[in-house]
Structure 1
Amino acid sequence: MRTTPLGAREFAGEVTGFDAASATAQEIGELRTLLHRHRVLVLRGQSLSPRRYQTFMEHFGRPVPHVLQNLTVPGFPSILTISDYVKPDGTPFGVLDGGAYWHADMSYLQDLGIATSLYAVRAAERSGGTAFADLASALELLPSRPDLLELLGCESVDEVLALDVVHRFGNRKALRDDTAAKQNLSQEQHARLRGARHKLIETHPVTGGRGLFAPSGSAMSVVGLPDARSELALDALEEFVLKELPGYTHRYRPGDLVIWDNMSTLHRGTGVSPTRDLEDSRVLHRINVRYAGARELAG
């Protein structure tokens, strides 16, 4: 197994010499270590049925069924279909945009520690990709940005460690424009997503390291700051991440498997537009797993 860096500061790595369908316990253990080192892993040329795909990801954590059950793979409530294909009757084959705004998956849930994987069943030259931003070095660089500390109402990084952020399902910037209705969730689905409160600087449940957590997307407000000041601070943190920290954008080929750690990254879908041409479309299968409850590795 070999890893080739794709971004700066060890952010994102392409792994070669690994077959997810037949990997040994030792190889999977090594891959889990690589995930937390590089935050984003790319494995090309994989061949996975839905069952093999889910079994493989269970070694990283317990699969989390998605709220959009109408767009999951039949028989697999934890595998969400993401696709730009629109069927002849006008209905989408899967989630169309794949989250076109910067976010961390399921950061609106109370329990943290989520990894995400996307497996490219089909991909076309025109179909979009996924952009990633690294959060791992943010805490290290914060002392050099007194303007950010001031916006957060803090004089030191130690004070930042005490800050809480309210997270709710959705995109902060879209909700600011009163477009919550575009989420297309039923009242029952919204009721399941009541939101949560997390530290702005969270502790990773696997590595024990501390880092900036999900300042985009579901991060709605910094507890204790006036609304306007809170929005300015979160927007400034997002800009800081996107401009000053490492990034990587992945373009999918058939058989690509991409896995990332939502505790230490942001991501968004890029370049996605609907198509009615099945052969010129993409189909990605997504699984989210919670690190707690990972399948035991057998020798």
Structure 2
Amino acid sequence: MTQNATKLPPVDPQNAAIVERFGGKITALDPIGAQVSGIDLSSKDALPPELVDVLEREMAHRGFLVFKNDAPLDAEDFLRASCLWGGRELHSTHGVHPETPGGNPHIFRLSNDARHGIPDVGPQWHNDGSFLPATFSHSGYHIIRPAERGGGTHFSHQGLAFEALSQDRQERWTRLSSVNSASGVVHPLVHEHSVSGQKCIWLHLGMTGAVLEKLPDRDGFRLLQAEELKQLCHDYNDVLNAGLTNGYAVAYEYQENDCVFIDNLAVAHRAAPEAHIPAEKQGLRIMHRSTVKGVRDLAPSFGLPMHVNIDGPNPVGEGVWQGGGVGFRWDEGIPMRN
């Protein structure tokens, strides 16, 4: 399934020196991500643009940053820090749980106890905001209460996952585009990250209604048939899972006061299975999530439109064309709520 995975290089020494000049420290995590300490996200003073720039570039290359905080952040501090990245403003489309601080519409409160937050979210690999043309540029995760017996988030580097594919699969996946089952927005299965320059794979395993393939030898497109789409989703799931043993994915366990920001075009994520175990067995888990406005459309290639009517008639020919809900169920035995 995979070749020998490429490893991420160390944190850029010049970037590390800039972080240190502003009183912080950035350290590479193994195998992806980086940890930042000494930067006070609760400060009302704006972080210097030079510092923000190097942190955002490291996030693009390494996938995510973990900010270690000595004291709890309040909700406004977390949301203000979320706006340091990408589109620099919040873009929120989720429901608001009754226990959300101040009923703030920009906080998605998640928990393994429905009394304290929304349960069962994000069990399959995905990127946030796949129903939008300009998908969220970044997402934030602020752990309010880590479960006593674990329950973190899995992150998989989509650039390194592309490199792990065989050349034949790289070529074919570059000709594929997914259709979001909720909105009909079309995204490429492979895109080039605007900051890192890496080719990255990108597919929502809980909200895909169709996949279009550009014909390799002539003009035109075809839809993947059910067995083909099922196989594609399994292959995509397998290559991201393989990162957990091949060095391009991590099962991150939150510690008290952790604040994690991800580049939503560089890493896929999913809730660890333990995150959904009931609180009486796993311990209560509460997390706040934020989402940041996209910078540009994640537009398909080959002249495909940004949007199709997934709820209307199939315009291409025979194949899977399924709107609504979680879209195409590629595995009947797994939870698919996202």
Q: What TM-score bracket applies, with the shorter chain setting the length?
A: 0.7 to 0.9
Residue 288 of structure 1 is aligned with which of 288, 291, 303?
291
Q: Give TM-score scaled by structure 2 length.
A: 0.66
1:115-165: per-residue Cα shift (whole Å, max 9, x none)?
A: 1111112223224111111111233333x353x46xxxxxxx2x5433211
The answer to whether the aligner puts 1:119 opposite 2:118 as a matched pair is no
1:120-199 aligned at under 5 Å gives the runs 120-142=143-165, 144=166, 146=168, 148=169, 157=171, 160-168=173-181, 193-199=182-188
Find the residue that maps to 2:107 and give its secondary structure: strand
CA deviation digits over 1:207-241, x for unaligned, max 9?
A: 55432112533234321222221221232122123
The residue aligned with 1:184 is none
Q: Does 1:28 find its partner at 2:55?
A: no
Query: Residue 108 of structure 1: CA displacement?
Result: 2.4
Matched, 1:267 2:269: yes
1:247-262 superposed matches below 5 A: 247-262=249-264
Conserved in 2, the CA contact under 8 Å of 1:113 and 1:204? no
Name the residue aligned to 2:125: 102
Which stretch of structure 1 is more off in the superposition, 98-107 or 200-209? 200-209
Match of 1:200 among 173, 189, 195: 189
Higher strand fraction: Structure 1 or Structure 2?
A: 1
Q: Percent identity between the aligned chains?
A: 24
Report whether the alignment pairs 1:5 with 2:33: no
Cα distance in 2 between the residues matched to 1:112 and 1:57: 15
Aligned Cα root-mean-square deviation (Å): 2.6
Equivalent in the alignment of 2:329: none
Match of 1:235 in 2: 234
Question: Letter of the aligned partner of 2:286 in structure 1?
Answer: V
State the distance in 1 between where 2:251 and 2:178 align.
27
Give the Cα separation in 2 of the matches to 1:243 and 1:139. 12
* Residue in structure 1 matched with residue 208 of structure 2 by the alignment: 219
Tell me if structure 2 keeps the 8 A contact 1:161–1:201: yes
Q: Is the 8 A contact 1:62 1:292 kept in 2?
A: no
- Which of 77, 80, 83 is the equivalent residue of 2:105? 77
Matching residue of 1:57: 82
Q: Which has the higher contact order (CA 8 A, sep 6+)?
A: 1
Shift of 1:29: 2.7
Give the aligned partner of residue 65 of structure 2.
41
How far 1:205 moved relative to its partner?
4.6
Unaligned runs of 5+ in 1: 87-91, 150-156, 169-192, 294-299
Letter in 2 for 1:48: L
Amino acid at match of 1:235: H
Deviations 1:69-112 (A, max 9, x none): 345543421111112234xxxxx321223312222112122222
Q: CA deviation at 1:52?
A: 1.6
Deviations for 1:241-286, whole angstroms, at most 9, x for unmatched residues? 3215511111122210011122121211120222269xx4222111
- The gaps in structure 2 that reach 5 residues or longer are 1-23, 213-221, 297-338
How far apart in 2 are the matches of 1:106 and 1:207?
21
SS of corresponding position for 1:69: coil
Alignment match, 2:319: none
SS in 2 for 1:137: helix
Is the alpha carbon distance of 1:162 and 1:93 closer, same or farther for their aligned partners in structure 2, counting shifts above 3 Å?
A: same
Code of the aligned partner of 1:196: V
Flag the 1:123–1:140 CA change in 2: closer, same or farther, 3 A: closer
Q: Assess if the C-alpha contact under 8 Å between 2:96 and 2:107 holds in 1.
A: no
Is 1:214–1:263's contact at 8 Å kept on the other side of the alignment?
A: no
CA distance in 2, matches of 1:138, 1:131: 14
| Aligned counterparts of 2:136 and 2:111: Cα–Cα separation in 1 | 26
